[in-house]
Amino acid sequence: MATITLNISESAVEGDYAVALKNIIMTDATGTHSVSADEFIGTISVESYKTGDANGDGVINVSDFSSIAAYILGNTPNGFVAKVADVNGDNVINVSDLSAVAYMILHSSTESKSGDRLLARRKLNSVEDYSNTLYANAVNCKAGDQITLPICMKNDYDVTGFQFDIHLPDGITVAEDGEFPLAELSTARTTARKTNYFDSSYQKDGSLRVLCNSTGGYAFTGNDGEVAVVTLNIGSSMNDGEYEIQLKDIVMTDASGTHQTNVGSISSKMVVGATSYIRDAKIDSASQKIFSVNGIERNCMSKGINIIMSHDGIKKVVVR
């Protein structure tokens, strides 16, 4: 029926405020039928937003990057908070704000939020537990090697951006080109126009944070496969055995930044040491079991790395 535009002071404290309408009178066209009320109390809720939290969900991550990119391209997402999207405060939302948010994501801690919340509470951390996630492909190597670790993504919606932190075992480090970590966008799965922002930065806990987003809002092709690669140095003193690589604080987003998936942690196995390269190994099903490097039992050997466990505790690695 009517709207009143209000200015909320920048110094207003977050919370609920009462708004009172008083001396209310309603009437018909003749003035013979009227209704009156002394007072009606309503509520205005004042919420504070973090600078850079463009979608207003309380966390600054790749979804905010996508929201700002969409706005710049002329597609304002639902729930877009323009005031905090103007990160540099110049009253214009443009590529400068996009770069500022990318810097904030790469150089500050990020809390996981929303997405597959139920699974996260149950502390599931296997690829098979999620329909949308990033994960490191299983690899095998020897002490002193330099290897390329494939980072894969599986998704059932159009993903245009992602981020994750990679945590490595002691003795394994990310290789560098000068001062820059060797983390790169893969050519196996990329976006249609290949208009991708890709960067990485070390975090205070020693992990490497990787951030990627299609600045044109184009989705990654396919539904499962390699999207990035990280080059690793395997320490020369590493003992033979299985080691855990973790991707943490995983975030995936669509072009608008309104559909996102968050996964707390996904673990993958790295096998360091001598490997038996056997094409046609015979397995005694009565005394041996076959597992993937992620600990999933298999009925038969599959292409890639197979862990053969005997009942007497002897373990063998077979690559087909």
Reported as a single tens digit per residue, the pLDDT across 137-155 is 888 899 999 999 999 999 9
Pair 240, 306 in one domain: no
- How far CA 300 is from CA of 292, 316, 319, in Å, comes to 10, 15, 13
Q: What whole-number percentage of the chain has pLDDT above 90? A: 32
- b/e map 114-138, b = 16+ CB within 10 Å: ebbeebbeeebbbbeebebbbbbbb
Whether residue 246 is contained in a domain is answered as: yes
Q: Are strands 139-141 and 260-272 parallel, antiparallel or unpaired?
A: parallel
Q: How far apart are CA 299 and CA 91, in angstroms?
A: 61
Q: Which residues pair with 140 in a beta bridge?
A: 271
- Same domain for 245 and 299, yes or no, is no
Whether residue 254 has pLDDT greater than 50: yes
Cβ pair 294, 269 in contact under 8 A: yes
Looking at per-residue confidence, does 42 or 245 come out higher? 245
Is the model's pLDDT at 296 over the cut of 50? yes
Q: Which of 49, 101, 51 is nearest to 72 (CA)?
A: 101
Q: Is residue 96 part of a domain?
A: no
Tokens of 78: 């639902």
Q: What is the share, in percent, of the chain residues with pLDDT greater than 70? A: 81
User: Which one is predicted more confidently, 63 or 287?
Assistant: 63
User: Residue 311: in which H helix or E strand, if any?
Assistant: none
User: Are 213 and 310 in the same domain?
Assistant: no
Helix axes 95-107, 62-72, angle to 10 degrees: 180
Predicted pLDDT at 128: 81
Q: Do 265 and 189 sit in the same domain of this protein? A: yes
pLDDT, tens digit (0-9, with 9 covering 90-100), for 268-294: 988 898 554 444 445 555 667 777 665
Q: Assess if residue 213 is contained within a domain.
A: yes
**Per-residue confidence band for 136, with pLDDT thresholds at 50, 70 and 90:** very high
Residue 281 and residue 209 in one domain = no
What confidence category does residue 125 fall into, taking pLDDT thresholds of 50, 70 and 90? Answer: low
pLDDT given at position 320: 56
Whether residue 69 is contained in a domain is answered as: no
Average pLDDT, the chain: 81
Give a yes or no: residue 20 inside a domain. Answer: yes
Q: In degrees, to the nearest 5, what angle opens at C-alpha 158 toward C-alphas 153 and 160?
A: 70
Q: Kindly state whether residues 145 and 197 are assigned to the same domain.
A: yes
Mean pLDDT value of segment 194-218: 87
pLDDT band of 35, cuts 50, 70, 90: confident
- Is pLDDT at 260 greater than 90 in this prediction? no
69/228 Cα distance (integer angstroms): 21
**In this structure, which amino acid lies at residue 295?**
G
Provide the phi-psi class of 41: left if phi over 0, else alpha when psi is between -120 and 50, else beta. beta
Looking at per-residue pLDDT, the higher value among 183 and 103 belongs to 183
| Residue-number span of the structural domain to which 265 is assigned | 112-272
Inside any domain, residue 84: no
Highest-confidence range of 157-161, 286-290, 292-296, 300-304, by mean pLDDT? 157-161
Q: How far apart are the first and last CA of the chain?
A: 72
Q: Do 201 and 293 lie in a common domain? A: no
Residue 32 banded pLDDT, cuts 50, 70, 90: confident
Q: Which of 99-103, 104-108, 209-213 has the highest mean pLDDT?
A: 209-213
Q: What CATH number is associated with residue 155?
A: 2.60.40.680
* Average pLDDT score over residue span 180-208: 87
Q: Does 298 score more than 80 pLDDT? A: no
Q: Is the pLDDT of residue 172 over 90?
A: yes
* Over residues 42-46, mean pLDDT: 80
The predicted pLDDT at position 183 comes to: 94
Helix or strand run (H / E) with residue 97: helix 95-107
Q: Are residues 279 and 247 in the same domain?
A: no
Q: CB-based contacts of 261: which residues, under 8 Å, 6+ apart?
A: 115, 116, 132, 133, 155, 250, 251, 252, 253
Regarding whether 290 and 165 lie in a shared domain, the answer is no
Q: Are residues 123 and 232 in the same domain?
A: yes
The residue written with tokens 């002490």 in the block is 143
Please check whether residues 307 and 252 belong to one and the same domain.
no
User: CA-CA distance, 214 to 107, in Å (whole number)?
Assistant: 20
Asked if 163 and 212 count as a contact pair (C-beta separation under 8 A), the reply is yes
pLDDT at 45: 76
In this structure, is residue 31 part of a structural domain? Answer: yes
CA angle 205-225-197, nearest 5°?
A: 60
Same domain, 194 and 284: no
Give the separation between CA 100 and CA 197, rounded to whole angstroms.
13
Bridge partners (DSSP) of residue 288 are 310
pLDDT value at 132 more than 90? yes
Number of domains in the chain: 3
Do the domain assignments include residue 74? Answer: no
